[in-house]
Amino acid sequence: MYPEPELAVGAVVVDRGRLLLVRRGHAPEAGRWSLPGGRVRAGEPATDAVARELLEETGVRGRPTGLCGYAERIGAGHHFVILDFWVVPEAQARTDARAGDDADALTWCDAAGLAALPLASGLHDWLRRHGVLDRLGPD
């Protein structure tokens, strides 16, 4: 039996041809690279949640500009419905970025660099389908 679905958000932050990724510090998929994000709190608008989660996990302040897409992650003990938003980072995003909260590392990754990282299940295909890869530099 599966638990009740939980609403979560993810931040798709592209700056100068690089995608902001975090290495997950906890299950599910601990040690794999993913978009920054997390659960939406009761009564919290999804756009507020994505800005909060981005700041908590990366130290980056950003402004959500629209829905990029959604994903579902269903596994033993979890069922997440994840709304992923395009987020425009503030000007100092590169210098402010630092891993925090549930992330144990972060990186700004170009298209070529994605191939070298152990990404969360299905993330590379999701990024391709939603046009994120088209916004990344070659190297």
Please state, in angstroms and rounded to a whole number, the distance separating the CA atoms of residues 77 and 130: 27
Q: What is the pLDDT of residue 67?
A: 98
113 burial (CB, 10 Å; 0-12 / 13-18 / 19+) is middle
Q: How many CB atoms lie within 10 A of CB 124?
A: 15
Q: DSSP letter string over 90-139?
A: PTTHHHH----TTEEEEEEE-HHHHTTS-BPTTHHHHHHHTTSGGGS---
Share of the chain above pLDDT 90, in %: 70
Q: Which residue has the tokens 């088209």?
A: 134
For 47-74, the pLDDT digits (tens) are 999 999 999 999 999 999 999 999 998 8
Instruction: Using pLDDT thresholds of 50, 70 and 90, give the confidence band for residue 139.
Output: low
Beta strands at 78-89 and 6-15: parallel, antiparallel or unpaired: parallel
Q: What is the pLDDT of residue 72?
A: 93
Higher confidence at residue 95 or residue 124?
A: 124
Distances (CA, A) of 113 to 31, 59, 67: 17, 22, 25
Please state, in angstroms and rounded to a whole number, the distance separating the CA atoms of residues 103 and 13: 16
Instruction: Using pLDDT thresholds of 50, 70 and 90, give the confidence band for residue 101.
Output: low
Q: How many CB atoms lie within 10 A of CB 114?
A: 19
pTM across the whole model: 0.92
Judged against a pLDDT cut of 70, whether residue 88 lies above it is answered with yes
For 2-35, the pLDDT digits (tens) are 789 999 999 999 999 999 999 988 777 778 999 9
Fold of 6-131: Nucleoside Triphosphate Pyrophosphohydrolase (3.90.79)
Q: How open is the CA angle 1-31-74, to the nearest 5 degrees?
A: 20
